[in-house]
Amino acid sequence: MTPSSDWTQSSRGRKELRAIALFVMLSIMVPLWHAELYPFSRAPMFSDASQRCCDYKVFSPDGRSLDPRQFAVQRNYWGNPLGVGVGFLPADTVDRFGEVPEKDSVKARVSDCLIRHPELEFVEVIREVIGPFESGGIGPIQTDIWRIENPLYRKVSDQ
């Protein structure tokens, strides 16, 4: 007999084969009932097939680019629907992949975040809506530019 055939005939070898078979079976079966149950994942990348998304850029009064996460306009989408296949709860944001939020909700959210930046008089937010062209292809189909005033700036500068 060869050493490999001895392994499958041994008690330890059969236990190891059963453990491997059980793991493979669980890897296939568990995702059918639970999208996420560590260490198993269904990982349904791009299953939502959204038609639109938004890209935000935030600028200071002197033109410096600011981190969109500081103003809750970052994109938290990496291909999987939020909460599935990512392993953690992403930071809160006004951006919802596949949706174009109303101007007032974006401005209100950025204004709320500006309170944490009393040194900024305002920020300029540029939103590009990405979607399908009538002629085919995908790209920017709408651009909005908003100047959002800091509600605390005057109070800090008056002191």
Task: Provide the residue range defining the domain that includes 120.
Answer: 53-157
What does the pLDDT profile of the chain (159 residues) look like in tens digits? 455 567 778 888 889 999 999 988 887 777 677 666 666 565 666 666 678 889 999 999 999 999 999 999 998 776 666 555 555 667 788 988 778 999 999 999 999 999 899 899 999 999 999 999 989 899 999 999 999 999 887 654 455
Same domain, 13 and 72: no
Q: What share of residues in the chain are helix, strand, coil (percent, to 5)?
A: 30, 25, 45
Residues 6+ apart with CB under 8 A from 30: 37, 40
In 16-117, at which residue ranges do the beta strands (DSSP E only) sit? 36-37, 40-41, 53-59, 65-66
Please give the tally of structural domains in the chain: 2
Same domain assignment for residues 11 and 57: no
Q: Based on the domain organization, do 37 and 66 belong to the same domain?
A: no
Q: Which of 141, 151, 117 is nearest to 52 (CA)?
A: 141
Same domain, 80 and 152: yes
* pTM score, whole prediction: 0.65
Residues 65 and 37 in one domain: no
